Structure 1
Amino acid sequence: MPEPSSVDRLIEQAFDIAVFIDNSLVVTAISVSPDSPSLGRLDHWIGREFESFLNVESREKFAQRIALMRADPDSVPGPIELNHSDNANWEFPVRYTLHREAGSDGLLLLGRDMQPLAEIQQRLVREQVAREREVEKYRGIETCYRVVLEASETPLVLVEPEAGRIRDINSAAALLLGSKRDVLTGSSFAQVFEGQRRGNFIEQLKAAASSDDVTGFEAVARRNGRVVSLSPNFFRASGEVLMLCRLALIEDEDAARPESAQSLSALFEASSDAIVLTDGNGVIRDANEGFLILSDAAQLRDVQGRSMADFLSRGSVDLKLILDNTRKKGRMRSYSAQFQSVVGTRASVDISATSLRGRNADLGVGLIIRDVTPRDAPLVQDSGAAVSDEAMRNVMDLVGTASLKELVSATSDVVEKMCIETAVRLTNNNRVAAAEMLGLSRQSLYVKLRKYGLLNAQDED
């Protein structure tokens, strides 16, 4: 057994506690560092079994370690953490290293007091529990906020004034703007309205929120053309400045009732005919399920933002004729065309178009497209014009009176004349558009019109 004085010096320099036990695991000496007053005086351990001062779990752990050391005397045991319990019914954890004493059957246990670390761990646990309670409290407040926001009949929009984006919106506001909450949340607030640029729109909101005289301003919803009054107010939350904007529908004498508006919306979605809403240049903004079926598109975003010219066989020629006639007359009753889907199939369609105008704003063009393809017709149509039976009979009557070369030339002239007549009719006698449709120059078209006697006296002049 080492001298007590040497054990004390070792404890003071490196360890908080040292315990020497004999072969019977009885404490024969103990020393506690004066820098660890929390351990107290442990002289009453001497002469008693070391295990009697361990709790149940530590006793089993200590017994297993002693058994391994005795089974393999040359092994180097690793550290072991034990929880002590004495007669005063208080516990403290100690991390021990076990050392065999040369020339003795006893063991020297050198330990570090783990109470400070245990207290830190307990404090962390308490902090974690307190944090979880705060999170639960926050979730409860957020739930109340969302319930109140959704239950409100007033259309409300929470806006980030600097970014100009919608932070949150209730269903009443989304319905008023003709969209859904999940679609509008996070999007630009200015893009919800017709003809609004983000910078100018946000400045209007800030001016209205800061002024005592201005109660709000009007804007036209892009999706449904409704005139909406916006009344913004600033507020601060957790140091961040936000804007709460109240919306109100402005109805004039000719405005449709809410029931009619809902019916029209349902008709738009459920109609078997394809319905498309475009801007003034023919770029698709919205379309119903009928158009998606006709165009073989899987979802709205597959066609949204594309030009209607992409779906017409004559492309920009057809679209230009439709838009020009609609702008001049306000509407176009019927226009025959070949519709081309996203996968290349074609169908004969009849298109009617109407210029959409809201309150002091041009809302674009609405198109109704009806599939008029015969049921037994092939999916892919030939773009060439068909030759009439009478014209073919006239050519067949020439058989025997002219050579094959002359017969073919006569047939080509018949087909060419019919194609030119069809192009002039489709373009409402617009020679420039007809030339573009046929892939001819304007001068070449006039030469062929004169050749087939399709120019009237006024054109000749």
Structure 2
Amino acid sequence: MTVSLIAAAPPPEPRIDFATPEATLGSFDPDLAARLTTVSADIALVIDAAGVIRDYAIGDPGLARADLVPLVGRRWVDTVGADSQFKVADMLRETPPQGVGRWRIVNQLSVSGDAVVTLRFMTVGAGEDGKIIAIGRDLRSTAAMQQRLLQAQQSMERDYMRLRAAESRYRLLFDLSSEAVLIVDATTSRFVEVNPAAKRLIGNDAATGANAAFAGVFDPASRDRAGALIAAAMNAATVDPVDVRLAGGRECLMSATLYRQDKATYVLVRLALAAGASEVVSDGRQMLIDVLERLPDAFVVTDESLNILAENGAFLDLAQLARREHARGQSLARFLGRPGIDVDLLIAHLREHGSVRNFATVFRSQFDTVDEVEVSAVAVRDGEQPCFGFTIRTVGRRLRDDPAVGRDLPRSVEQLTELVGRVSLKEIVRESTDLIERLCIEAALAYTGDNRASAAEVLGLSRQSLYSKLHRHGLGNLSGEEP
């Protein structure tokens, strides 16, 4: 007898077509469905058509220790916080029998009553009988992570504000320091920052600009000495200052200190005038400086481009500036003269003649307050640095107090043209109107043989108007006459 050793093929495993409507949790073994639901969610609730919880499963041990209020046999709405009850009602009402609802955040109550557990639920229809399975995920870990992120962000904000405050203090000290300070990149030997005191000492803005060569500010004979000091500062903790000569000829004492920041190496260089080259002035010159500082009239010194180099306190008061640093570097044309007229004319006369006296113009303060002023100026071209000096005197009060009647009027067109550049066009037009009126009255009186009645008729005026104008211009002998 022959025995067949061919084993029969095993029967095919049952497969579920998830595309068919019948592919629901009911197609699985109930225990398998419960395990799958527990693994995929932190908590699962089985809810009947009346909204009552019939069963639940917890897959997160941490959630099991959360001490939730009893769930089985109670309505789901009664187990959540007041702020979540309308969400639960909407979820139960909107979930289709064979469909899926949307995710909603729900606060489940704890037994103590003063704490809640934040869960994110999604409802799934479990059949035509109205049962619903609510799948929830614990958001406490996410909330804790968000809280840590918020705390980290707030800490960064506090650190940022402290850095901003420290940078502001550093910038204020760096800019207002009277000592010349230069910061040099030790790798490239180029400037990173230069404070205003150093720029004034060196006297060449182009040589101290950002990324300019460090050696460019020194006399060729002192460049090797300055470079050797930088090299010594990089290799030793302390180095002795050395005497150097700047490109402008000034003798200075140079010191250097090495420091590191953001994985880069920098050298802080300080320059001080040498003892023999200190700017010591004679007693007479010092008294002159003190007088100019206390002068009641505004005094200002500019370069040939009208950038302010020095000023006294009266100029700061007239310009309504709080600090000298607010004036330094600004153009005097910002404050002086009518735009495009007075300053150009003033500078043209100053360059041609070397000095200008009693030039009438206006002065605008920082807040655009306008004052009538007189300017006297001088050009200094043979000094160490060519410059202009201006004395500015306010005359607005004097002009207001001057009587309008009886002032001397120009007698000819030539005298009128001489007013150009001294007064405004409006004033010139007013002066010319008065001049023409007076000349016409004088001609009419001469034509009529000083007959006032005939002169008034010739001019087309009443006798009263003519007498008023005669009084205003001071023409004729009007004593004892009645208009």
Q: TM-score, normalised by structure 1?
A: 0.49
Report the structure number with the largest CA radius of gyration.
2
Q: With CA pairs under 8 Å and 6+ residues apart, which has the higher RCO, 1 or 2? A: 1
TM normalised by structure 2 equals 0.48
